[in-house]
Structure 1
Amino acid sequence: MNLPNDSYSLFCLESVIDSEIESESKLFPMLEQITLNFGVTNVYKNCDSIESFQESLETLLYTDRDFKHYEVIYFVFEGSNNNIEIDGYLYSFEEIAELFQGKLNGKILHFANTKELNLDQETAQYFLAVTGAKAISGYVNHTPILSTILDFHYFGLYQEYDDVIELVENLLEKHYALCSTMGFRLYY
């Protein structure tokens, strides 16, 4: 298989019940496949508390030498509306924006369907303005299956289309039924 020369990197942060318990994430097969099929390098980390969430983000932003290469930040957290939930604590989009203040230039923050992403325009624009992110994406509908099937195609297409509008047009063209059922959303 010929892999594209301009591969990008993806950083995945997943909320788990207990990070001390060694278990394999349901995300690993998809992350492995995007590497094998598209040459996308990815880094996986998990967290089980608000402290480990903040620690993971601080490490990512301030000590990870590869941060500049991550074009997609993939969050797998429970939540709805304007919040993610970690160990019973609700963390708002405004708080997340403050953590990422000015640090997401040119990056996409993508949420798995474990968190319902249904932002009002004001919240989305605030987040994009504060963080500098290229886009926020995710799903409105919390479906019984994890969104890794569609996420795989989305991350693969990002390899070909840097422009988010072209990216989503192609995703919809190829996987309209799945996008519609899961309620795919992009804020840019």
Structure 2
Amino acid sequence: MYNNSDRFKLFCLEGVKEISDLNASFILPFLENLALHQGIVNTYKSCDSIESLEESLSALLYADRSFKDYEILYLVFEGEGNAIVLDDYYYTLGEIAEFFEGKLSGKILHFANTKLLDLDEEEAQYFLDVTGARAVSGYNKKVPVYSAAIDNEFFGLCQQYDDVVEIVEELYAHHAAICTTMGFVLYY
């Protein structure tokens, strides 16, 4: 079905309360579903502090030989405003942009709805310009449902289409109600 060298690849980084708690992640079953049912190869890493976040991002950028192959970086963190929150520390999207300066060429950075993506056009453009990312996406409405099911659909469409506008059109064509309810947004 899939040629290993042509497989779509995703990197997931999740903020958890305690890395040593093997049951801390609720995203792993969804990642397994991506691999089994959509053929999306994914790598998972968790972090529980700003130090482990920065360590994970550094390892991703400088030590992970697959970094160039990841098409989506999937961030699953709590957050508010334009920041993720980890161990009571706020890490802004501006800081994330500077960390990834020029290194996300052709990649989509996607946030789960555990952190609302609340950017104005200027902030989004700054993020895209600094990182070189193809797009940044997520959700801007707080709902009591986790976004993994629609994230899986989004990732599947990213695997099928190159044009981000076409991806969003297809997502809304098949899942308009949930996309609207959750406030799916994509900046490119």
Shorter-chain TM-score range: over 0.9
Q: Do 1:76 and 1:114's aligned partners in 2 also have CA atoms closer than 8 Å?
A: yes
Superimposed CA distance per residue, residues 58-113 of structure 1 (whole angstroms, 9 cap, x where no aligned partner) = 00000000000100000001112211111100111110001000100000000000
Residue 68 of structure 2 corresponds to residue 68 of structure 1: yes
User: Aligned-pair distance for 1:134?
Assistant: 0.2
Question: Quick one: which amino acid aligns to residue 131 of structure 2?
Answer: T
Residue aligning to 1:181: 181
Give me the whole-angstrom Cα distance separating, in 1, the residues matched to 2:85 and 2:93.
Answer: 11
Local SS of the residue matching 2:80: coil
Amino acid at match of 1:135: A
CA offset digits 1:107-151 (Å, max 9, x no partner): 000000000101011110001000000000000112111100100
Question: 4+ runs of 1 displaced by more than 6 Å?
Answer: none
Residue equivalent to 2:97? 97
Query: What is the letter of the counterpart of residue 27 of structure 2?
Result: L
Q: Match of 1:79, SS?
A: strand
Q: Does 1:57 align with 2:54?
A: no
State whether residues 16 and 24 of structure 2, in contact with CA within 8 Å, keep that contact through their aligned partners in structure 1.
Answer: no
**Deviations 1:129-174 (CA, angstroms, capped at 9, x unpaired):** 0000000000011211110010010011111111100000000001
Aligned partners of 1:127 and 1:158: how far apart in 2? 20
Count of residues in Structure 1 that have an aligned counterpart in Structure 2: 187
Does the residue aligned with 2:17 lie in a helix, a strand or coil?
coil
| Partner amino acid, structure 2, of 1:18 | E
Equivalent positions of 1:72-83 (< 5 A) are 72-83=72-83
Q: Does 1:133 align with 2:149?
A: no
Q: How many Å separate the matches in 2 of 1:120 and 1:104?
A: 20
Q: Partners of 1:149 and 1:129 in 2: how far apart?
A: 30
Name the SS of the counterpart of 1:165 in structure 2: helix
> TM-score scaled to structure 1, two decimals?
0.96
What SS does structure 1 have at the residue aligned with 2:109?
strand
Secondary structure of the 1:110 match is strand
Question: Is the Cα–Cα contact under 8 Å of residues 17 and 87 in structure 1 kept in the other structure?
Answer: yes
Q: Distance in 2 between matches of 1:79 and 1:30?
A: 21
The answer for the alignment partner of 1:117 in structure 2 is: 117
Alignment check: 8 A CA contact 2:18 2:24 kept: no
Instruction: Provide the secondary structure at the position in 2 that maps to 1:65.
Output: coil
CA contact (8 A) 1:10 1:42 kept: yes
Provide structure 1 residue ranges, at least 5 long, that are not aligned to the other structure.
Answer: none
Distance, in Å, in 2 between the alignment partners of 1:96 and 1:26 is 24
2:8 is the counterpart of 1:11:
no
- What's the offset of the Cα at 1:46? 0.4
Q: Is the contact between residue 108 and residue 134 of structure 1 (CA under 8 Å) also seen in structure 2?
A: yes
Instruction: Indicate conservation of the 8 Å contact 1:3/1:38, yes or no.
Output: no
Tell me the C-alpha RMSD between the 2 structures. Answer: 1.2
